[in-house]
Amino acid sequence: MAATTDESSLLSETESLLASMDTTAFESHPPRPVAARKRAPPEITRSVELRLLRKAAGELEVQLTLLQQQRRSSMLVRDTRMQMWQQLAERQHRMRRHSEAENLRLKSYMQDLLSGEGVGDALSALPKQLQMELQQMTQPLSPSRSLGILKASGAVSAVFDALLARLDAGFAQAADMFRESGLDTDLTEPRSLAEKKTRRLGRPCHFFQLADLRLSPFPWRSIGDATWHSNREWHLRDGRFEHPVADRADSTFAVNYRTAHKTLGERQLVHCKFVMRRYVMADKMVLVLASQYDGENELAGASVHTVGLLGVRSVDLQSDEPDASPATVLQSCLHIFPSAHASSDVAAETKARQLMGLVTSLFEDDVTFMRQRVDTLMLRGARGRRSAQLLGNGAAAYRPTRITFCGADPIC
């Protein structure tokens, strides 16, 4: 009975609810019309696509050019480093072959001499040059040393004062000298020049120029220090007289000596006064030299003045290799000025030219020794550092050979 009442009430409520609703509530409606998209003309579409393709092609071309430049730069850096080590290896190979040939020659020469009737006869058969060298080795005071002591006079001091005064001026003109010598600061390609010049620093001047640029795979400061100490050690060898220097004595030396060189088949003597000073900056070192060479005997009356520079600076090869070796540029130039004390006749000019050629040969010999010496020092230090790295945990107990020059600070 109760259930019937509930259903009746529910039915009546539903009917009243339906009666109150709008008769259109359940009617279906057609979908709203949608406006059709307007399609662009085909020629406009193709023009836009072509413009986009050209833009993308330009961007890809720029990226390709950058990648090619990076590849060329990477290959150039690799080739430059290989060239540095190859040139170093070639210099070491030439030095070794020369030393071996010289040792064999001396050994054969001494065996031939000592195969006779006695050492006394062998020594008496030695050439005059070798006899003179043996006498110099046995005498307590060598001729070069006595020359410096005997000629440490006011006139010699005046010459040294004039030479020392040229050093600061030479350093101030270093950039211009390197540029006029064809050794611009942005150059990293090895080159070597020897030529006669008629202008110097913008002024008419006749002189002979030697210029050289090369790369080294070692830090610039180590090379600069080794070059400075090697020059000092080389020029002060054999007890040569060192002229006292008051201004910046720790970075300057002056030496007075006599040297001999064989030119045109004859052995010539030359009296040399030589000064050098180093200038150290944050990223480079410059060595400035000045000298005066006076001819003796057949070359008496002729003299030659020189002014030279040696620049040592670092160069960034922009290598992506983490263990890539550093790179150092060495720029050197020497200006040789001949002069004659006598009248400007043919004989005086001939002497001046001969002395100029002799000085050029002496300078080339000095440069050859310096390069060999510095290369040897750098390789010895590199081997020591490499050995320390290979020792690993024992590296702290390893100490490479300490290289010193006449009591100076060690290189390693």
In a domain, 112, yes or no: no
pLDDT bracket for residue 166 (50, 70, 90): very high
Q: Residue 220, Cα to own-chain centre: how many angstroms?
A: 7
What does the alpha-carbon distance between residue 396 and residue 385 come to, in Å, rounded to a whole number? Answer: 11
Instruction: Quote the pLDDT of residue 341.
Output: 53
Same domain, 150 and 290: yes
Same domain, 79 and 201: no
The number of folded domains in the chain is 2
Same domain, 152 and 263: yes
Task: Supply the DSSP string of 301-345, one letter for each residue.
Answer: TEEEEEEEEEEEEE-------TTPPP-EEEEEEEEEEEEESS-SS
Q: Picking from 73-77, 324-328, 357-361, 381-385, which range would have the lowest pLDDT averaged per residue?
A: 73-77
The percentage of residues in the chain with a pLDDT greater than 70, rounded to a whole number, is 67
Same domain, 80 and 216: no
Instruction: Quote the pLDDT of residue 315.
Output: 81
Residue pLDDT, tens place only, 300-319: 888 899 999 999 998 876 55
Same domain, 91 and 188: no
In a domain, 279, yes or no: yes
Please give the average per-residue pLDDT across 29-46, as a whole number.
Answer: 66
Instruction: Quote the pLDDT of residue 161.
Output: 92
Instruction: Quote the pLDDT of residue 164.
Output: 94
Instruction: Quote the pLDDT of residue 229.
Output: 92
pLDDT bracket for residue 43 (50, 70, 90): low
- State the CATH number of the domain containing residue 171: 3.30.530.20
Residue pLDDT, tens place only, 316-352: 765 555 555 678 889 999 999 987 554 557 777 888 8
Question: Which long-range contacts link 315-319 to residues 24+ away (Cβ below 8 Å)?
Answer: 315/188, 315/215, 317/77, 317/80, 317/81, 317/188, 318/73, 318/77, 319/74, 319/77, 319/81
- Whether the predicted pLDDT of 143 surpasses 50: no
- Whether the predicted pLDDT of 111 surpasses 60: yes
N-terminal to C-terminal alpha carbon distance within the chain:
118
Interacting residues of 324 by C-beta distance below 8 A, sequence separation 6+:
81, 317
Which three-class secondary structure state does DSSP give residue 412?
Answer: coil
In a domain, 260, yes or no: yes
Do residues 173 and 181 lie in contact, with contact meaning Cβ atoms separated by under 8 Å?
no
| 238 backbone φψ class: left, alpha, beta (φ>0; ψ -120 to 50) | left
Q: Picking from 19-28, 106-115, 133-142, 221-230, which range would have the lowest pLDDT averaged per residue?
A: 133-142
Instruction: Quote the pLDDT of residue 136.
Output: 45
Which one, of 226, 191, 232, lies nearest residue 210 by Cα? 191
Instruction: Quote the pLDDT of residue 399.
Output: 44
Instruction: Quote the pLDDT of residue 191.
Output: 82
In a domain, 244, yes or no: yes
Do residues 275 and 287 lie in contact, with contact meaning Cβ atoms separated by under 8 Å?
no
Instruction: Quote the pLDDT of residue 386.
Output: 60
In a domain, 120, yes or no: no
Please give the average per-residue pLDDT across 201-223, as a whole number.
Answer: 88
What does the alpha-carbon distance between residue 310 and residue 278 come to, in Å, rounded to a whole number? Answer: 9
Total residue length of the chain: 412
In a domain, 215, yes or no: yes
Q: What is the pTM of this model?
A: 0.64
Residue pLDDT, tens place only, 267-310: 788 889 999 999 999 989 999 999 999 988 888 888 899 999 99
Task: Indicate the angle between helix axes 346-391 and 42-114, nearest 10 degrees.
Answer: 110
State both tokens at 351.
């002497």
pLDDT bracket for residue 190 (50, 70, 90): confident
- Whether the predicted pLDDT of 395 surpasses 70: no
State both tokens at 264.
């045109």
Same domain, 252 and 381: yes
Task: Indicate the angle between helix axes 220-235 and 346-391, nearest 10 degrees.
Answer: 130
Residue pLDDT, tens place only, 223-247: 999 999 999 988 888 778 888 898 8
Q: Picking from 118-132, 189-203, 212-226, 354-368, which range would have the lowest pLDDT averaged per residue?
A: 118-132
Residue pLDDT, tens place only, 45-96: 778 788 888 888 888 888 887 877 766 666 665 666 677 777 777 777 777 7
Q: Does 127 or 58 have the greater pLDDT score?
A: 58
Question: Which long-range contacts link 260-267 to residues 24+ away (Cβ below 8 Å)?
Answer: 261/358, 261/361, 261/362, 261/365, 263/354, 263/357, 263/358, 263/361, 264/354, 266/298, 267/129
The percentage of residues in the chain with a pLDDT greater than 90, rounded to a whole number, is 18
Same domain, 159 and 293: yes
Do residues 341 and 303 lie in contact, with contact meaning Cβ atoms separated by under 8 Å?
yes
Instruction: Quote the pLDDT of residue 344.
Output: 57
Per-residue H/E/C for 15-79: HHHHHHCCCCCCCCCCCCCCCCCCCCCHHHHHHHHHHHHHHHHHHHHHHHHHHHHHHHHHHHHHH
- Look up the domain containing 276 and give its range: 143-317+324-387
Instruction: Quote the pLDDT of residue 83.
Output: 74
Q: Over the chain, what is the mean pLDDT?
A: 76
**Is the four-CA dihedral 310, 275, 206, 208 of positive or negative sign?**
negative
At which of 83, 107, 131 does a domain end?
107
Q: What letter represents residue 193's amino acid?
A: L
Q: Picking from 15-19, 254-258, 289-293, which range would have the lowest pLDDT averaged per residue?
A: 15-19
Same domain, 217 and 338: yes
Residue pLDDT, tens place only, 5-14: 667 777 777 7
Do residues 193 and 318 lie in contact, with contact meaning Cβ atoms separated by under 8 Å?
no
Same domain, 259 and 330: yes
Q: Does 186 or 307 have the greater pLDDT score?
A: 307
Do residues 380 and 401 lie in contact, with contact meaning Cβ atoms separated by under 8 Å?
yes
Instruction: Quote the pLDDT of residue 100.
Output: 81
In a domain, 127, yes or no: no
What does the alpha-carbon distance between residue 145 and residue 137 come to, in Å, rounded to a whole number? Answer: 12
State both tokens at 324.
């890539």
Which one, of 317, 326, 364, 303, lies nearest residue 218 by Cα? 326
Same domain, 286 and 382: yes
Instruction: Quote the pLDDT of residue 150.
Output: 40
Same domain, 69 and 195: no
Same domain, 231 and 173: yes
Do residues 355 and 304 lie in contact, with contact meaning Cβ atoms separated by under 8 Å?
yes
In a domain, 38, yes or no: no
